Structure 1
Amino acid sequence: MNERSVRHATFVIRRSYAATPATVFHAFADPATKRRWFVEGEGWTVEEFSASFEVGGREHSRFRFGNGPVMRNDTIYLEIVANERIVFSYTMTVAGRRISASLGTLEFAAEGEGTRLNYTEQAAFLDRLDEPGEREAGFRELFQALAAAVERAPLDA
Protein backbone atom coordinates (compact mmCIF):
# COMPACT_ATOMS: atom_id res chain seq x y z
CA MET A 1 0.00 0.00 0.00
CA ASN A 2 1.22 3.50 -0.83
CA GLU A 3 1.95 5.87 2.03
CA ARG A 4 -0.76 8.52 2.35
CA SER A 5 0.27 12.12 2.94
CA VAL A 6 -0.92 15.71 2.71
CA ARG A 7 1.11 18.86 2.16
CA HIS A 8 -0.49 22.25 2.79
CA ALA A 9 0.56 25.35 0.91
CA THR A 10 -0.64 28.87 0.21
CA PHE A 11 0.37 31.05 -2.70
CA VAL A 12 -0.66 34.47 -3.97
CA ILE A 13 -0.53 35.74 -7.55
CA ARG A 14 -1.00 39.42 -8.35
CA ARG A 15 -1.57 40.39 -11.95
CA SER A 16 -2.62 43.56 -13.78
CA TYR A 17 -4.83 43.58 -16.86
CA ALA A 18 -5.52 46.31 -19.43
CA ALA A 19 -9.27 45.76 -19.07
CA THR A 20 -11.94 46.90 -16.64
CA PRO A 21 -12.83 44.85 -13.55
CA ALA A 22 -16.23 44.11 -15.17
CA THR A 23 -14.50 42.68 -18.26
CA VAL A 24 -12.09 40.52 -16.26
CA PHE A 25 -14.87 39.34 -13.93
CA HIS A 26 -17.02 38.46 -16.98
CA ALA A 27 -14.23 36.16 -18.23
CA PHE A 28 -14.79 34.06 -15.09
CA ALA A 29 -18.60 34.39 -15.00
CA ASP A 30 -19.45 33.58 -18.62
CA PRO A 31 -19.10 29.81 -19.25
CA ALA A 32 -18.22 30.12 -22.96
CA THR A 33 -15.52 32.71 -22.31
CA LYS A 34 -14.09 30.80 -19.34
CA ARG A 35 -13.95 27.54 -21.29
CA ARG A 36 -11.85 29.23 -24.01
CA TRP A 37 -9.12 30.55 -21.71
CA PHE A 38 -9.36 28.03 -18.84
CA VAL A 39 -9.47 24.58 -20.45
CA GLU A 40 -8.87 25.01 -24.19
CA GLY A 41 -5.44 25.48 -25.67
CA GLU A 42 -2.88 24.00 -27.99
CA GLY A 43 -2.41 20.30 -27.27
CA TRP A 44 -5.44 20.07 -24.94
CA THR A 45 -8.57 18.03 -25.58
CA VAL A 46 -11.68 19.08 -23.66
CA GLU A 47 -13.94 16.09 -23.05
CA GLU A 48 -16.48 17.92 -20.87
CA PHE A 49 -17.11 21.41 -19.52
CA SER A 50 -20.18 22.66 -17.66
CA ALA A 51 -20.63 25.65 -15.39
CA SER A 52 -23.32 27.21 -13.23
CA PHE A 53 -21.86 30.51 -12.05
CA GLU A 54 -23.85 31.28 -8.91
CA VAL A 55 -23.33 30.82 -5.19
CA GLY A 56 -23.66 27.08 -4.63
CA GLY A 57 -23.21 26.49 -8.36
CA ARG A 58 -20.77 23.98 -9.76
CA GLU A 59 -18.25 23.86 -12.54
CA HIS A 60 -16.95 20.59 -13.93
CA SER A 61 -14.30 20.01 -16.57
CA ARG A 62 -12.65 16.88 -17.89
CA PHE A 63 -9.67 17.23 -20.21
CA ARG A 64 -6.30 15.81 -21.20
CA PHE A 65 -3.05 17.01 -22.68
CA GLY A 66 -2.01 15.04 -25.76
CA ASN A 67 -2.35 11.34 -25.01
CA GLY A 68 -1.93 11.95 -21.27
CA PRO A 69 -4.26 10.85 -18.50
CA VAL A 70 -7.72 12.31 -18.03
CA MET A 71 -7.78 15.25 -15.61
CA ARG A 72 -10.82 16.61 -13.79
CA ASN A 73 -11.52 19.90 -12.10
CA ASP A 74 -14.62 20.03 -9.87
CA THR A 75 -15.49 23.46 -8.47
CA ILE A 76 -18.14 24.82 -6.09
CA TYR A 77 -18.74 28.58 -5.92
CA LEU A 78 -18.94 29.74 -2.29
CA GLU A 79 -19.13 33.54 -2.61
CA ILE A 80 -19.65 35.86 -5.58
CA VAL A 81 -19.65 39.65 -5.44
CA ALA A 82 -20.04 40.98 -8.99
CA ASN A 83 -16.88 42.66 -10.32
CA GLU A 84 -15.18 42.39 -6.90
CA ARG A 85 -14.72 38.85 -5.55
CA ILE A 86 -15.13 35.14 -6.23
CA VAL A 87 -14.46 32.49 -3.57
CA PHE A 88 -14.55 28.85 -4.63
CA SER A 89 -13.36 25.40 -3.63
CA TYR A 90 -12.12 22.85 -6.10
CA THR A 91 -10.55 19.43 -6.39
CA MET A 92 -8.19 18.15 -9.07
CA THR A 93 -8.18 14.51 -10.12
CA VAL A 94 -5.73 12.82 -12.50
CA ALA A 95 -6.32 9.32 -13.87
CA GLY A 96 -9.03 8.78 -11.27
CA ARG A 97 -6.87 9.79 -8.28
CA ARG A 98 -7.59 12.98 -6.36
CA ILE A 99 -4.38 15.00 -6.20
CA SER A 100 -5.53 18.13 -4.36
CA ALA A 101 -8.32 20.08 -2.69
CA SER A 102 -8.16 23.88 -2.64
CA LEU A 103 -9.83 27.09 -1.58
CA GLY A 104 -9.34 29.94 -4.07
CA THR A 105 -10.12 33.63 -3.71
CA LEU A 106 -10.12 36.03 -6.66
CA GLU A 107 -10.21 39.77 -5.93
CA PHE A 108 -10.78 42.34 -8.69
CA ALA A 109 -9.89 46.01 -8.15
CA ALA A 110 -9.73 49.01 -10.46
CA GLU A 111 -6.17 50.07 -11.21
CA GLY A 112 -6.17 53.19 -13.37
CA GLU A 113 -8.12 52.15 -16.47
CA GLY A 114 -7.36 48.49 -15.87
CA THR A 115 -7.72 45.79 -13.24
CA ARG A 116 -5.56 44.46 -10.47
CA LEU A 117 -6.34 40.76 -9.91
CA ASN A 118 -5.24 39.16 -6.64
CA TYR A 119 -5.53 35.38 -6.45
CA THR A 120 -4.92 33.47 -3.21
CA GLU A 121 -4.97 29.68 -3.10
CA GLN A 122 -4.86 27.57 0.05
CA ALA A 123 -4.33 23.96 -0.96
CA ALA A 124 -3.95 20.46 0.38
CA PHE A 125 -1.74 18.43 -1.98
CA LEU A 126 -2.46 14.75 -1.55
CA ASP A 127 -0.13 11.73 -1.54
CA ARG A 128 2.71 13.58 -3.30
CA LEU A 129 0.79 13.53 -6.58
CA ASP A 130 1.13 17.29 -7.13
CA GLU A 131 3.33 20.09 -5.83
CA PRO A 132 2.63 23.71 -4.85
CA GLY A 133 5.17 25.10 -7.32
CA GLU A 134 3.58 23.23 -10.21
CA ARG A 135 0.11 24.48 -9.27
CA GLU A 136 1.28 28.09 -8.99
CA ALA A 137 3.04 27.83 -12.36
CA GLY A 138 -0.14 26.41 -13.87
CA PHE A 139 -2.20 29.34 -12.59
CA ARG A 140 0.35 31.82 -13.91
CA GLU A 141 -0.09 30.22 -17.36
CA LEU A 142 -3.89 30.38 -16.99
CA PHE A 143 -3.73 34.06 -16.04
CA GLN A 144 -1.61 34.69 -19.14
CA ALA A 145 -4.33 33.01 -21.22
CA LEU A 146 -6.87 35.21 -19.42
CA ALA A 147 -4.89 38.28 -20.52
CA ALA A 148 -5.22 37.20 -24.15
CA ALA A 149 -8.98 36.81 -23.62
CA VAL A 150 -9.62 40.22 -22.03
CA GLU A 151 -7.00 42.60 -23.38
CA ARG A 152 -7.32 44.12 -26.82
CA ALA A 153 -4.27 44.61 -28.99
CA PRO A 154 -3.46 48.31 -29.47
CA LEU A 155 -4.71 49.81 -32.71
CA ASP A 156 -2.14 50.50 -35.40
CA ALA A 157 -1.35 54.20 -35.69
Structure 2
Amino acid sequence: METKPPLPPFTLETAKIKVRAAEDAWNNRDPDKVAMAYSEDSFWRNRAEIFQGRQAIRDFLRRKWDKELDYRLVKELWAFGTNRIAVRFQYEWHDDAGQWYRAYGNENWEFNAAGLMQRREASINDRPISTEDRRFYWSAPGPRPSDHPGLMNSPE
Protein backbone atom coordinates (compact mmCIF):
# COMPACT_ATOMS: atom_id res chain seq x y z
CA MET A 1 0.00 0.00 0.00
CA GLU A 2 1.39 3.39 -0.97
CA THR A 3 1.75 5.96 1.80
CA LYS A 4 2.49 9.67 1.90
CA PRO A 5 3.82 10.67 5.34
CA PRO A 6 3.12 12.33 7.60
CA LEU A 7 0.08 10.19 8.28
CA PRO A 8 -3.05 11.04 10.23
CA PRO A 9 -3.85 11.67 12.99
CA PHE A 10 -2.18 15.05 12.57
CA THR A 11 -0.48 17.14 15.21
CA LEU A 12 0.31 20.82 14.77
CA GLU A 13 3.83 19.91 13.66
CA THR A 14 2.81 17.17 11.20
CA ALA A 15 0.03 19.33 9.73
CA LYS A 16 2.59 22.09 9.05
CA ILE A 17 4.90 19.55 7.41
CA LYS A 18 2.04 18.30 5.21
CA VAL A 19 1.18 21.86 4.12
CA ARG A 20 4.78 22.75 3.26
CA ALA A 21 5.24 19.48 1.35
CA ALA A 22 2.15 20.31 -0.73
CA GLU A 23 3.41 23.85 -1.39
CA ASP A 24 6.83 22.58 -2.46
CA ALA A 25 5.34 19.96 -4.77
CA TRP A 26 2.99 22.44 -6.47
CA ASN A 27 5.84 24.95 -6.90
CA ASN A 28 7.81 22.28 -8.79
CA ARG A 29 4.90 22.11 -11.28
CA ASP A 30 5.23 18.42 -12.15
CA PRO A 31 1.67 17.08 -12.61
CA ASP A 32 2.79 13.44 -12.45
CA LYS A 33 4.58 13.88 -9.11
CA VAL A 34 1.90 16.14 -7.60
CA ALA A 35 -0.85 13.66 -8.50
CA MET A 36 0.86 10.94 -6.45
CA ALA A 37 -0.05 12.78 -3.22
CA TYR A 38 -3.74 12.06 -3.94
CA SER A 39 -5.65 8.80 -3.64
CA GLU A 40 -6.60 7.00 -6.87
CA ASP A 41 -10.22 8.12 -6.39
CA SER A 42 -9.50 11.57 -4.93
CA PHE A 43 -12.43 13.98 -5.26
CA TRP A 44 -11.69 17.59 -6.24
CA ARG A 45 -13.62 20.81 -6.42
CA ASN A 46 -11.45 23.58 -7.81
CA ARG A 47 -13.27 26.83 -8.54
CA ALA A 48 -16.14 25.73 -10.82
CA GLU A 49 -14.57 22.39 -11.81
CA ILE A 50 -15.51 19.14 -10.10
CA PHE A 51 -13.71 15.92 -10.99
CA GLN A 52 -12.33 12.72 -9.52
CA GLY A 53 -9.25 10.51 -9.88
CA ARG A 54 -5.51 10.86 -10.39
CA GLN A 55 -5.66 11.06 -14.17
CA ALA A 56 -8.20 13.90 -13.97
CA ILE A 57 -5.88 15.63 -11.46
CA ARG A 58 -2.91 15.28 -13.84
CA ASP A 59 -4.97 16.63 -16.73
CA PHE A 60 -6.19 19.56 -14.63
CA LEU A 61 -2.68 20.48 -13.46
CA ARG A 62 -1.28 20.35 -17.01
CA ARG A 63 -4.02 22.75 -18.20
CA LYS A 64 -3.49 24.96 -15.16
CA TRP A 65 0.27 25.35 -15.55
CA ASP A 66 0.02 25.76 -19.33
CA LYS A 67 -2.17 28.82 -18.65
CA GLU A 68 -0.76 30.14 -15.35
CA LEU A 69 2.81 31.00 -16.34
CA ASP A 70 5.67 31.54 -13.85
CA TYR A 71 3.41 30.20 -11.09
CA ARG A 72 4.65 30.68 -7.49
CA LEU A 73 2.60 29.57 -4.48
CA VAL A 74 2.65 30.13 -0.71
CA LYS A 75 0.39 28.02 1.54
CA GLU A 76 -0.30 28.46 5.25
CA LEU A 77 -1.92 26.13 7.77
CA TRP A 78 -5.25 27.54 8.93
CA ALA A 79 -6.67 24.67 11.01
CA PHE A 80 -6.39 20.90 11.36
CA GLY A 81 -8.17 17.89 12.81
CA THR A 82 -7.52 14.17 13.00
CA ASN A 83 -7.43 13.61 9.22
CA ARG A 84 -8.30 17.07 7.88
CA ILE A 85 -6.31 20.21 7.16
CA ALA A 86 -7.51 23.67 6.10
CA VAL A 87 -5.11 26.07 4.41
CA ARG A 88 -5.15 29.55 3.02
CA PHE A 89 -2.89 30.41 0.15
CA GLN A 90 -1.80 33.00 -2.38
CA TYR A 91 -0.10 32.45 -5.67
CA GLU A 92 1.10 34.68 -8.47
CA TRP A 93 1.14 33.97 -12.18
CA HIS A 94 0.90 35.75 -15.51
CA ASP A 95 -0.97 35.01 -18.69
CA ASP A 96 0.54 34.78 -22.17
CA ALA A 97 -0.08 38.53 -22.66
CA GLY A 98 2.12 39.33 -19.62
CA GLN A 99 -0.68 40.37 -17.21
CA TRP A 100 0.18 39.32 -13.64
CA TYR A 101 -2.42 38.01 -11.17
CA ARG A 102 -2.47 37.14 -7.51
CA ALA A 103 -4.84 34.35 -6.58
CA TYR A 104 -6.25 34.17 -3.06
CA GLY A 105 -7.82 31.01 -1.76
CA ASN A 106 -8.74 28.49 0.85
CA GLU A 107 -8.57 24.72 0.63
CA ASN A 108 -10.10 21.98 2.72
CA TRP A 109 -8.24 18.68 2.62
CA GLU A 110 -9.24 15.22 3.86
CA PHE A 111 -6.71 12.36 4.05
CA ASN A 112 -7.02 8.60 4.15
CA ALA A 113 -5.07 6.45 6.64
CA ALA A 114 -2.15 6.21 4.17
CA GLY A 115 -1.72 10.00 4.17
CA LEU A 116 -3.04 10.40 0.62
CA MET A 117 -5.45 13.26 0.05
CA GLN A 118 -8.86 11.79 -0.75
CA ARG A 119 -10.75 15.08 -0.96
CA ARG A 120 -9.70 18.62 -1.93
CA GLU A 121 -12.11 21.53 -2.10
CA ALA A 122 -10.70 24.89 -3.18
CA SER A 123 -12.24 28.34 -3.38
CA ILE A 124 -10.06 30.79 -5.32
CA ASN A 125 -10.27 34.40 -6.53
CA ASP A 126 -7.84 36.10 -8.91
CA ARG A 127 -6.93 39.77 -8.87
CA PRO A 128 -4.91 41.50 -11.59
CA ILE A 129 -1.72 43.06 -10.21
CA SER A 130 1.06 45.12 -11.69
CA THR A 131 4.52 43.66 -12.05
CA GLU A 132 5.65 46.06 -9.28
CA ASP A 133 3.07 44.59 -6.87
CA ARG A 134 4.45 41.06 -7.09
CA ARG A 135 5.66 39.48 -3.83
CA PHE A 136 6.98 36.07 -4.87
CA TYR A 137 10.34 36.29 -6.63
CA TRP A 138 12.23 33.05 -6.08
CA SER A 139 13.56 30.97 -9.00
CA ALA A 140 10.78 28.94 -10.54
CA PRO A 141 9.95 26.21 -10.90
CA GLY A 142 11.08 25.16 -7.49
CA PRO A 143 10.19 25.40 -3.82
CA ARG A 144 9.97 28.66 -1.91
CA PRO A 145 13.29 29.29 -0.13
CA SER A 146 13.15 28.76 3.62
CA ASP A 147 14.02 32.43 4.25
CA HIS A 148 11.23 33.78 1.99
CA PRO A 149 8.31 35.15 4.05
CA GLY A 150 5.06 33.25 4.29
CA LEU A 151 1.61 34.82 4.50
CA MET A 152 1.32 35.70 8.20
CA ASN A 153 2.37 39.30 7.67
CA SER A 154 0.65 39.68 4.32
CA PRO A 155 -1.62 42.77 4.25
CA GLU A 156 -4.26 40.89 2.22
TM bucket, shorter chain: 0.3 to 0.5
Q: Which has the larger radius of gyration?
A: 1
TM-score scaled by length of structure 2: 0.33
TM-score scaled by length of structure 1: 0.33
Give the structure with the larger strand fraction. Answer: 1
